[in-house]
Structure 1
């Protein structure tokens, strides 16, 4: 069966709409620092409430999934490659700031997408 880029993108787009449980140890905002040639990942802590929503541990307020949120990250991770960033987060940081395997897999995919955008000069938008 011959797959087209469009049909493969459609599979990923559909999967991006599924429900996922939030990692109780926090979330990451990923972006590029093109001048420095770095993939950057800001880690933010959160608490998951009884409704499964991420809550700011300092204010107790629900953290919205979209839009601007004024929060201070707990850690900034940077690296030149996706692999280097994964090693820093998953192997060198104790305790590891990621506790769910699906979250780890997601981050690996996103870091690779960010690396490809850094190499190609295209825009990177976190999924």
Structure 2
């Protein structure tokens, strides 16, 4: 790995550990459907409680940040490119399920990472 690549990776890893406020509009689980050549984004609704934690609106239980939770997605968005997915979520869906600019920026970055992994045949793990 080049020195520049190491610096970029270090910066990215540090920023991945910062505090972020959760979007009251919900959250997305992003994954690849390689067989169909698609980037997929499942949108789940949530409520943000007084402690700033995401809560399942149906059960009232806190949604853990790690691990699997059995929930039904509100909407499944699919596209062939990051740009196409952004257009579907931010321009064509009204009102947009994303209510915070930092969440929108995060999703754009993740969609690009997913697209590159799809193109290059690499594993994609959502940050």
Q: TM-score range by the shorter chain?
A: over 0.9
2:124 is the counterpart of 1:124: yes
**CA distance, structure 2, for counterparts of residue 57 and residue 3 of structure 1:** 46
What are the Cα deviations for residues 18-46 of structure 1, in whole angstroms up to 9, with x where unaligned?
00000001000000000000000000000
Q: TM-score under structure 1 normalisation?
A: 0.98
What are the Cα deviations for residues 59-84 of structure 1, in whole angstroms up to 9, with x where unaligned?
00000000010000000000000000
Structure 1 residue 4 displacement after superposition: 1.2
Count of residue correspondences: 126
The 5-angstrom pairing of residues 1-127 of structure 1 reads 4-127=4-127
Gaps of 5+ in 1: none
**CA distance, structure 1, for counterparts of residue 115 and residue 122 of structure 2:** 10
RMSD between aligned alpha carbons? 1.0
**CA distance, structure 1, for counterparts of residue 42 and residue 118 of structure 2:** 17
**CA distance, structure 1, for counterparts of residue 108 and residue 126 of structure 2:** 12
Equivalent position SS for 2:20: coil
Structure 1 residue 3 displacement after superposition: 5.5
